Structure 1
Amino acid sequence: MHRTILGGALAALLFATAATAAPQADLVLVDKRAQRLYLYQGQRLLAAFPVAFGAQAQGHKQQEGDERTPEGRYLLDYKKADSGYYKAIHISYPNAADRAAAAARGVSPGGQVMIHGQRNGFGWAAALTQRFNWTNGCIALRNADMEQVWQAVAPGTPIVIRP
């Protein structure tokens, strides 16, 4: 009898956990012109969030220090909970084409481009900071929005960043 009660309770707990788990995105789409990040599962839009970019938001990232956010197709390859910002997910920039283009110009392509929340300790300032492009080329969200993205995105998820 204890097994039946315990088994039923465990099944109910597992069902409740599965029912409240965040849907998993299989694509992140960023539209720089609209200043939005979209989470998709197949063709279904899961969520959309306002974002801020690098201070020079127009155009594809060309080199380290240009304060541009890359454009194109990349992967979200790892998560960093201990970032200087409220959580961070690394974008696989630079790819081979980015490295070759930078090498042809004799410059470093840069790297460490992330999706992240607000600088640690400054989450309260998001109402102000999210009104302008302030990063060095990253994609910034309010902390509450970053938490939703963090829960919905697994390493290996593709990201497409459109102009």
Structure 2
Amino acid sequence: MAATRLRRGPRGRRWIGSIAALVVLGFFGLALVDQRQWARVEPDLVAAPERADRILVEKAARRLTLLREGRVLAIYPVSLGFSPVGQKAREGDGRTPEGVYAIAYRNPRSVAHLSLKVSYPTPEQAAQASAEGREPGGDIMIHGLLNGLSWLGPLHRLVDWTNGCVGVTNAEMAAIYARVDVGTPVEIRP
């Protein structure tokens, strides 16, 4: 009996090694499928009359709306920070901030498919955090899916998964990116 177990041991290890190799190959395969990320091109801005002059994010509705002179240009469903309820209080709390900000810059080479930097924290929020001896957090973005995960598509909306950002699909991000310039106001409501 013991001899039988010894003979099965190496075979079992081979199966575990084979499964591990398949998992690793699977991840490489997903990266290859997502190769569009490697050579992505920054979308051009659309004509000025079709650009948003305001972005509204409604956290409770999980919705981002692009507006121009009060007219709705487009509406997108979103994912938020992994702990979205309430105002962002500190770095790492998983909350998406609330308030009025602006797009600080556009990043075509983001770790996610394109990103628009939200100007959080405001100087007042940074000062308040400093007075309380904490870091307010930062790098709040509106962005597509993380590089290598575009295959998730709209499935990403099943759970709030960002670190406090506003997440959309890659196709949605390309459309948003083409309609939003630096300086565009962003209002994030509870």
Q: Same fold (TM over 0.5)?
A: yes
Q: Post-superposition shift, 1:103?
A: 1.5
What are the within-5 Å matches in structure 2 for residues 76-115 of structure 1?
A: 76-115=103-142
Q: Which residue of 2 aligns with 1:116?
A: 143
Deviation at 1:131, TM superposition (A): 1.4
Post-superposition offset of 1:21: 4.7
Alpha-carbon distance, 1:123 to partner: 0.8
Q: State the percentage of identical aligned residues.
A: 44
Structure 1 letter corresponding to 2:175: Q
Larger radius of gyration: 2
Return the alpha-carbon distance in structure 2 between the equivalents of residues 131 and 25 of structure 1.
27
Secondary structure (helix, strand or coil) at the match of 1:48 reads: strand
Matching residue within 54, 59, 72 for 2:81: 54
Compute the TM-score of the two structures, normalised by the length of structure 1: 0.85
Match of 1:128 among 148, 155, 178: 155
Shift of 1:52: 0.4
**One-letter amino acid matched to 2:166:** I
Q: What amino acid sits opposite 1:65 in the alignment?
A: G
Q: 2:185 aligns with which of 150, 158, 162?
A: 158
Q: Number of residues paired by the alignment? A: 144
Quote the offset at 1:127 in angstroms. Answer: 2.8
1:140 corresponds to which residue? 167
* Alpha-carbon separation, structure 2, partners of 1:138 and 1:41: 23
Q: Which one of 25, 28, 34 corresponds to residue 61 of structure 2?
A: 34
Q: CA RMSD in A?
A: 1.2
For normalisation by structure 2, the TM-score amounts to 0.73
More helix by share: 2
Unaligned runs of 5+ in 1: 1-19
- CA apart distance, 1:132: 1.1
Residue matched to 2:32: none
* AA at the equivalent of 1:81: P
Stretches of structure 2 that go unaligned for 5 or more consecutive residues are 1-45
